Structure 1
Amino acid sequence: MLSYRKTLWALVIVANLAAASGVQAQYETVFPAANQPFTDVNLENYDFQWFAPPITEQYGQDTIDPNTGIFFEYHRLFMNVSRSDVAPGPYDGDATYGNRIDVGYMTEDNHGWLISGWRLDGPAYNGVNRGDFNSIELDRTWRLPQFHQGFYIEPLMGLRYAQFNDKTSTINFVQNNMLLGQLGGRIFSHRGQWTLEGTVRAFGGQNWIFRGDQDSYSAGVAGGEFSLGAAYHITREISIDVAWETMYIGTGVGRDPFFNNDEDMTMTGVAFGFTLNR
């Protein structure tokens, strides 16, 4: 009986593996690289010419298409971070600096991936508003056909991990660990040597809050991120740009080191940097 059961299970496993292989092969035929998303990054087909003259024609006209291939962005952030509800001047905010890096790719089939991370090193005002913020996200992206007046839309869907450490109190600190799902998109249009663009993300998830060694609990989090900016192309694939960047978390942020409060939080300011091949 034991030998029979072993033989039966072996046949079941082999049959399932064979069926799974057939389904996977069919799935990859319809959606190439669906299970291996980075196999379609073929660098040999991308004609990188970093110092070629900038494109001045409008995207979508005269066979001029938006860039494809790997891209990279760096921005220096100058942000204002809101204070806790229990801090002096709770409706005020305080300035800080940070960095943001975006890297990803867009294929000629109009789909790709985006990894985005940013960090704020402050604010740094003891007893009023002190802390730091980190965020990393992974998004699946698509590029839709051209819209009216040469605009393109790139929807995105992904996951984000964000951490805010409130160190305002000299007695204890509050650490927020947020795991978020998000939806959003990027819209852009090329005019002359300028690219006008905007991005929007809406996110929600769970926040695990640790108040030093005193207490820990969790809360729901919801909010969004918005930016609007312009890029000037120095060459075909190198541009400098500036944008207004805002992130708002509407609920679920722990800041007061003594009470289990759920606060909102706003970070807004200017991002200035450069972009390669986007």
Structure 2
Amino acid sequence: NISGPNQYNIYEQHRVNYEIISPATPNPPTYDQLAHIYEIADSVNVGKFRQFEANKVWRLEPYRYGGILEPMIGLRYAYFMDYARNDTYSVIFPVANEFGDDLGQETLLRDQVSTHNHMLLGQFGFRYTKFVRRWTFSNDAKVFAGHVYQSQNTIRESINAYFGLDVAAGDDPIQEVDRRGTTYSGRRNGESTVGFDIRVEGAYKATKHLDFRAGFQMLYFGRGIWRGSTVTSQGPQFAQDQHLIMPGFTFGVALNR
């Protein structure tokens, strides 16, 4: 369930060489091209959704008390992208030994997983509209089913910095080498889904040309949604048949000309 879209847990991590690249030492012997501060982020609930639909609508004769029923049938395209990110920062300062290989190591590991769900759906439903004085009340209900084309892309980036001395003790490093490594991988899958779309809305006619609208909408996909997770977080990365529910409120204005 998307209860809080686009949420991250983020904090700033000062690197161990933060004092090395400072006004006191503007030109260190081994200049570090990396940032002074790492932004460490863990995704909590991050997603993106959009959809389009085309319907054939039949308007029936109005009911005795003013209600109008409109059956419909049509097609819907929906896209849901789930994004997972997990950053891990660690520092190791081994004890010096007789061989002189006392290299401190600073590592930033960044995992990013993007999971895409492209849905082609057929649907049918109805719209019911009723006019009461200045108010217009409308209800939409649609049921849909179809195929989901799924894909997932994984990026793992590793940034390592090695220091010749224990820079945490305040010494300048005599050796510093930055190494970057990035790996990519991808997978594809196919599923089917079934769900519904419910919308309830009320519009108040403030003037002849202006309506104020407010309502509630809920989208539900009962199965067939792939949501990813990073290897580090150990979530349900291979669960390709999950459900998804998205409730929300709508508001706006309508100009009648």
TM-score surpassing 0.5? yes
Q: Output the CA distance in 1 between the equivalents of 2:209 and 2:55.
A: 23
Instruction: Name which of 38, 41, 47 aligns with 1:131.
Output: 47
Question: Counterpart amino acid of 2:46?
Answer: R
Residue in 1 that maps onto 2:213? 241
Segments of 5+ residues of structure 1 without an aligned counterpart are: 1-81, 84-92, 95-121
**Within 2, Cα distance between the matches of 1:277 and 1:139?**
23
Deviation larger for 157-166 or 169-178: 169-178
Q: Distance in 2 between matches of 1:177 and 1:262?
A: 14
Please tell me the residue identity of whatever aligns with 1:244: F
| Match among 253, 265, 270 for residue 249 of structure 2 | 270
Deviation at 1:184, TM superposition (A): 1.2
Q: Which residue of 1 aligns with 2:149?
A: 208
Query: Following TM superposition, by how much is the alpha carbon of 1:238 offset from its aligned partner in structure 2, in angstroms?
Result: 3.1
| Aligned 1:174-253 pairs, distance under 5 A | 174-212=115-153, 213-253=185-225
Residue in 2 that maps onto 1:164: 80
Match of 1:150 among 57, 61, 66: 66
Alignment TM-score, normalising by the size of structure 1: 0.54
Residues 29-75 of structure 1: CA deviation (Å, up to 9, x unaligned): xxxxxxxxxxxxxxxxxxxxxxxxxxxxxxxxxxxxxxxxxxxxxxx
Distance in 1 (alpha carbons) for counterparts of 2:126 and 2:256: 18
Question: Alpha-carbon deviation of 1:158?
Answer: 1.0
**In structure 2, what is the equivalent of residue 256 of structure 1?**
228
Aligned residues: 161
Contact 1:163 1:177 in 2 (8 A): yes
Question: How much has 1:237 moved relative to structure 2?
Answer: 4.8
- Is 2:112 the partner of 1:140? no
Query: Using the alignment, how far apart are the partners of 2:130 and 2:118 within structure 1?
Result: 36
The CA deviation string for residues 215-236 of structure 1, in whole angstroms up to 9 with x for no partner, is: 1011001101101121001234
AA in 2 matched with 1:215: R
User: Is the 1:124–1:131 contact (alpha carbons within 8 Å) kept by the matching residues of 2?
Assistant: no
In 2, the alpha carbon distance for the partners of 1:183 and 1:237 equals 32
Asked if the contact 2:131/2:137 (under 8 Å) is kept, the reply is yes
Aligned counterparts of 1:159 and 1:243: Cα–Cα separation in 2: 23
| Distance change in 2, residues 1:156/1:277 (3 Å) | farther
Whether the aligned pair in 2 keeps the contact of 1:241 and 1:273 (CA below 8 Å) is yes
Q: Which has the higher helix share?
A: 1
2-structure distance, mates of 1:129, 1:188: 36
Give, as a single letter, the amino acid of the residue that structure 1 aligns with 2:7: A
Which residue of the partner structure matches residue 171 of structure 2? Answer: none
Distance apart, 1:186 and its partner CA:
1.0
- CA distance in structure 1 between the partners assigned to 2:144 and 2:255 by the alignment: 27
Query: Structure 2: any 5+ residue segments left out of the alignment?
Result: 9-41, 86-110, 154-184, 230-236
Shift of 1:167: 0.4
User: Root-mean-square deviation (CA), in Å?
Assistant: 1.8
- The AA in structure 1 aligned to 2:206 is I
Cα distance in 2 for residues equivalent to 1:158 and 1:276: 27
What is the DSSP-based 3-state SS (H/G/I as helix, E as strand, rest coil) of the residue aligned with 2:65?
helix
Taking only the aligned residue pairs, the percentage that are identical comes to: 30
The structure where strand makes up a greater share of residues is 2
Moved segments of 4+, more than 2 Å: 122-127, 168-171, 234-238, 275-278
State the AA in 2 paired with 1:123. Answer: N
Question: CA shift at 1:260, angstroms?
Answer: 4.1
Question: Scaled by the length of structure 2, what TM-score is found?
Answer: 0.59
Deviation at 1:251, TM superposition (A): 0.5
Distance across 2 between alignment mates of 1:147 and 1:162: 34
